[in-house]
Amino acid sequence: MKGKTILITGGTSGLGAAAARAFAAMEARVIFCGRRLAEGLQLETNIRPDGGEATFVQADVTNEQEVEHLLNETCRRYGPPDVAFNNAGANLYTGPLEQMTSRQFSDTLAVNLTGIFHSLKYEILAMKAHGGSIINTASTAGVKGVGQGIAAYVAAKHGVIGLTKAAALEQARHNIRVNALVVSAIQTEQWLQRMAAKPGMQEKIAAGMPIGRISTVEDIIPLILFLASEQSTYITGAAIPVDGGITAG
Ligand SMILES: NC(=O)c1ccc[n+]([C@@H]2O[C@H](COP(=O)([O-])OP(=O)(O)OC[C@H]3O[C@@H](n4cnc5c(N)ncnc54)[C@H](OP(=O)(O)O)[C@@H]3O)[C@@H](O)[C@H]2O)c1
C-alpha cells in the first residue's frame, strides 16, 4: 500500500476510521470524508504523528457536488485514487414499513445507495486512465430480508450489491474492480451506544451468530486490505460475506 492513494467515504468513525488508520499505517496516502468536521479533523490529527498521511475533506455523499469536490481534492493532493472504500451509510429509520414516510424512505436511499452512486461515478471517472479497486460496504441486509423495521435500509443495501455488480461488469475491461462487503453487526462505537439503550440485545445478537460472537472492525479490515491489494486482481463483482456465517443458512 506504500504510496498508494486511498479514498474513504464515511471515515470519521467506526469501520471507515479503522480502515483509514490501517491504510495509513501501511504508508498509504489516505483521504477520507464525512459530515462531522470535529471528528474528521481529530482523526487526521491522530494519524499524522504516527507518520501516516491522512487528509479529511468534509463532504456529504448525498450531495453530488460535494462528492465531485472530494474527488477533485483527492486528485489535486495525491493523484487519482488507487483504492476507494465507499463506506458511508446509516440506518435512518426504524419502524414498520406502513408507517414510514416517503421522506424517511428516500433519505435512507440517499445516504446508503445514491451516495454510493455519486462516489462510484466520480471515482470511475478519476480511475479510468490507470485502473483501481473499489470496495462498497453493503450488509447482510443486502442479501436477505430483515423483518425488524428497517425495510428502507434493506432495500438500499440490496441496491448497493446491484450497483456493485453492474459497475464491475461495465468497468472490468478498464482495469477497475468493484466489490462489496457483506458485513453483519460490527461492534463500532456508535453501534455499542445504540446497544447500551437496549439491555440484553447484544447478548441475544451474539447468541444468534453461528460463530457465537459479534464482529469487530479487526475482523473486517483484512478483507478490505485484500480487496484493495494486488492479491485480488481476479476478483470483481463479488459480494463477499464477512459475517460469522449468518448468511450461510
Ligand atoms: N455497525 C454495524 O453493525 C453494521 C452492520 C452492517 C453494515 N454496516 C455498514 O457499515 C458502514 C459503516 O458503519 P459503522 O458501523 O462504522 O457506523 P458509523 O460509525 O456510524 O460510521 C458511519 C460513517 O458514515 C458516515 N456518514 C453517514 N452519513 C453520511 C453522509 N450522508 N455523507 C458522508 N458520510 C456519511 C459517518 O460520518 P458523519 O457522521 O461524519 O457523516 C461515519 O463516518 C455503513 O455503511 C453501515 O451501513 C454496519
Q: What is the pLDDT of residues 213-229, one digit of tens each?
A: 999 999 999 999 999 99
Torsions phi, psi for 176 (to 5 deg): -110, 120
Using CB distances shorter than 6 Å, the residues near ligand 1 are 9-16, 33-36, 39, 60-62, 87-90, 111, 115, 137, 139, 183, 185-186, 188, 190-191
Number of alpha helices (DSSP H) and beta strands (DSSP E) in the chain:
9, 7
Instruction: State how far the Cα of 223 lies from the Cα of 240, in Å rounded to an integer.
Output: 9
Pick from 8, 9, 13 the residue to mutate for probing ligand 1's pocket: most ligand atoms within 8 Å of its CB. 13
Strand order, beta sheet including 5-9: 53-58, 29-34, 5-9, 83-86, 132-137, 176-183, 239-242
Q: Which pLDDT score, from 0 to 100, does residue 31 have?
A: 98
In terms of Cβ atoms closer than 10 Å to its own Cβ (0-12, 13-18, 19+), residue 191 is middle
- What atom of ligand 1 comes closest to residue 110's alpha carbon? 31
Cell of 175: 482495469
Tell me the pLDDT tens digit for each residue of 34-89.
999 999 999 999 998 777 799 999 999 999 999 999 999 999 999 999 999 999 99
**Closest approach atom of ligand 1 to CA 153:** 47
Q: State residue 73's pLDDT score.
A: 98
Separation of 88 CA from ligand 1 center, angstroms? 5
Residue ranges for the chain with pLDDT beneath 70: none
**125 φ/ψ sector (left φ>0, alpha ψ -120 to 50, else beta):** alpha
Residue nearest to atom 14 of ligand 1 (CA): 14
Nearest atom in ligand 1 to the alpha carbon of residue 189 is: 19
Nearest CA residue ID for atom 30, ligand 1: 60
Q: Are 151 and 100 spatial neighbours (Cβ–Cβ below 8 Å)?
A: yes
> 7, 86, 164, 186: which to mutate for ligand 1, most atoms within 8 A of CB?
186
Atom 37 of ligand 1, nearest CA residue: 34
Name the average pLDDT for the chain.
Answer: 96
Q: Residue 82 has what pLDDT?
A: 98
Mutate to test the pocket of ligand 1, among 30, 69, 137, 150 (most ligand atoms within 8 A of CB): 137
Write out the CATH class of domain 5-182+219-236. Answer: alpha beta
Tell me what pLDDT residue 110 has. Answer: 98
Choose among 177, 158, 156, 157: nearest CA to 167: 177
CA distance 133 to 42: 27
Strand 83-86, strand 239-242: pairing:
unpaired
Residue with the smallest CA separation from ligand 1 atom 32 is: 60
pLDDT at 164: 98
What was the pLDDT predicted at 194? 86
Ligand 1 midpoint to CA 130 (Å) = 29
65 CB contacts (<8 Å, ≥6 apart)? none
